[in-house]
Amino acid sequence: MNETTKRTTVKEIDDILYEEHKVLDHGFVRVIDYMGSDSAIVQAARVSYGKGTKQINQDEALIKYLMRHHHTTPFEMCEIKFHVKLPIFIARQWIRHRTANVNEYSGRYSILDNEFYIPEQVAKQSDNNKQGSGEAFDSSTSKEIIDSLINDSNLVYSHYEKFIEQGLAREIARTNLTLNYYTQFYWKIDLHNLLHFLRLRADQHAQYEIRVYAEVMLDIVKKWVPLAYNAFIEYSLKSACISKTGLEIIRKLIKGENVTREESGMGKREWNELMSILGK
């Protein structure tokens, strides 16, 4: 408890308030404010006053139980507000998570900076994932593509500046800017929904450009609510979801029985995922 306030504070988060955590070439994540801690989760679960039990191992066991059995409301008692600077195309993915409060920098009222994202390397479209990248291009093709991205970005910004000088309304002048230009927003969210965001966006299958933001935020969560973070890693982020059929297959394998995909009735993709989980 901070002596200057009656609310519970977390020193590890207070120490990094407003500090920029660099992401990509021009982006960042900052913690602006927060409410609650691990003790708030315990308090809500017990519907009591104070800090819960005096023994941290009992609080840890309760938080693990809540995470393991998908009790969500105790985690919603904690909230955090971020200031995020990111490319527009990543912001459009980010905003799909509709359980947060968002206020974005407005190109209608303000002049947008000449800052755009350029990837360090570019890759081909994945052959087996319609949403993902595959193998990298050769160095010559990569340089050609990256040079084009830089040239196009500079060109459209020069047009944007000219439109502004000509007196064109800002809300129209901005429309030619490419999706790799940077935007900013304040993003406030409760811990339960933040962890859902991180489960999806910190996953190895997430697009790199949003995954690196999620990884920075994961580290912040670790500082803020370490007990909840550990439970999240154990029972969500690094765990696996297995179907009823998958469990039946595992039980047979444990008994030493031979199981084929065709016999199981499982689809090829799910079968491959299960075998990957089992290290086969």
Q: What is the pLDDT of residues 181-191, one digit of tens each?
A: 999 999 999 99
d(CA 111, CA 96): 26
Per the model's pLDDT, the better-predicted residue between 83 and 140 turns out to be 83
21 touches 80 (CB < 8 A): no
Residue 206 has pLDDT above 90, yes or no: yes
Domain boundaries, the chain: 1-117+180-239, 121-178, 244-277
Which one of 201, 251, 261, 269 is the catalytic residue? 201
Residue 57 has pLDDT above 80, yes or no: no
d(CA 83, CA 186): 5
Q: What is the pLDDT of residues 88-135, one digit of tens each?
A: 999 999 999 999 999 999 888 889 999 999 998 887 776 665 566 667
pLDDT bucket at 174, cuts 50 / 70 / 90: very high
What is 1-117+180-239's CATH number? 3.30.1360.170
Residue 246 has pLDDT above 90, yes or no: yes
DSSP 8-state symbol, 116: B
Residue 4 confidence (pLDDT):
80
Q: What is the pLDDT of residues 60-69, one digit of tens each?
A: 999 999 999 9
Residue 97 confidence (pLDDT):
92
% residues pLDDT > 70 (the chain): 92
Among 244, 251, 189, which residue's Cα sits nearest to residue 220? 189
Residue 55 has pLDDT above 70, yes or no: no
d(CA 77, CA 228): 12
Which token pair is 157? Answer: 């910004």
Per the model's pLDDT, the better-predicted residue between 53 and 19 turns out to be 19
User: What sign does the CA torsion over 110, 113, 114, 117 have?
Assistant: negative
Lowest mean pLDDT among 39-48, 176-185, 201-210: 39-48
CA 51 to chain centre: 29
User: What sign does the CA torsion over 127, 133, 134, 140 have?
Assistant: positive
Instruction: Provide the mean pLDDT of the chain.
Output: 91
Which amino acid, residue 129? N
Which token pair is 216? Answer: 């920075």
Averaged pLDDT for residues 65-79: 95
Which amino acid, residue 142? S
In the residue annotation, 201 being an active-site residue is answered as yes
Residue 85 has pLDDT above 90, yes or no: yes
Residue 248 has pLDDT above 80, yes or no: yes
SS3 25: coil
